[in-house]
Amino acid sequence: MAAEITTAEYRALAELRYLIRKFVGEGDAAARAAGLEPQQYLLLLALRGLPEGEEATIRALADRLALKHHSAVELIDRLETHGYVRRSRNREDRRQVLVVLLPRGEKLLEQVARDRISELRASGAALVNAISALLERGGSPAVRKKPR
């Protein structure tokens, strides 16, 4: 039988969820401020941050974003219309469509990513504390400071 979940674990889990939601919400706002929809930013990020050796196919990007293939295609259509990405056929397998990040898209991506990295560097310790509290079986996360 599994051990009882402690109050400290509930608090750590609640804190982790709060911090993740806050980070995602602020990221959405940063994307919009840069002129991107949040899903567009996430696709550009997935494209630029693909694991080494993984091709930037529509399928790979859809998988990274947990989207259906047709939803990824629609998102790529919008990004291509704005000149952020370009599609091309794979030279070895013409059935595969590859997506390439264009300089205009890279510039916007960098603007938002720079903001998100700065935010993590400034307040990421709270995320680490919440995760550590859960991994350490019942420790209590550090109390966050209330926003001013």
pLDDT attached to residue 38: 97
pTM of the model as a whole: 0.84
- φ, ψ of residue 56 to 5 degrees: the values are -85, 65
Supply the pLDDT for residue 1. Answer: 53
Dihedral sign for Cα atoms in the order 59, 27, 38, 68: positive
In this structure, what is the dihedral angle of CA atoms 134, 137, 138, 140, given to the nearest 10 degrees? -50
The pLDDT profile of the chain, 148 residues, written as one tens digit per residue, is 568 999 999 999 999 999 999 999 999 999 999 999 999 999 999 999 999 999 999 999 999 999 999 999 999 999 999 999 999 987 777 788 899 999 999 999 999 999 999 999 998 899 999 899 889 865 555 545 555 4
